[in-house]
Amino acid sequence: VSHCRRMSTQNVDRSRSVLSAEEMTLMAKSKPNGNAKHSSVKTKKERRVILFPTEPTTIPREELERAVARAIAARKK
């Protein structure tokens, strides 16, 4: 399946996050047991989640949040 997926998506322009209708059809067809007509892969919007490291850090979370907020605010001034 992964081989087929690679083969079928090799011509997709990967520099864009929004796919054309033709590319969506191509991607949907590459899913296992899927086809362009019945696949719901593209109708459901995926949500990206930012993952934090699982390893410990010495930085207290609240201090980190404040430092990031302050740095962003300083840049936007």
Partner 1 sequence: LPNAEYDQNVFINCPFDQEYAPLFEATVFAVNDAGFRPKCARERLDSSEVRLHKIVALIASSRYSIHDLSRTGLDSITTLPRFNMPLELGIDLGCKAYHPQCADKSLLIFDSEQHRFQKFVSDIGGQDIHQHGNDVKTAVIRVRNWLRTESGRSSIPGGATIYSRYQMYRQDLPGICADLRLDISDLAFADFCFTVAEWLKTHG
The one among 21, 33, 40, 59 contacting partner 1 by CB under 8 A: 59
21 interacts with partner 1 by CB under 8 A:
no
15 interacts with partner 1 by CB under 8 A:
yes
62 interacts with partner 1 by CB under 8 A:
no
Asked if residue 32 lies in contact with residue 1, where contact means CB atoms within 8 angstroms, the answer is yes
- Nearest to residue 12, comparing CAs of 32, 34, 28, 27? 27
The least CB distance from residue 63 to partner 1, in Å, is 6
Please give the Cα distance from 34 to 27 (Å, whole number): 10
**Shorter beta-carbon distance to partner 1: residue 18 or 37:** 18
DSSP 8-state assignment for residue 35: -
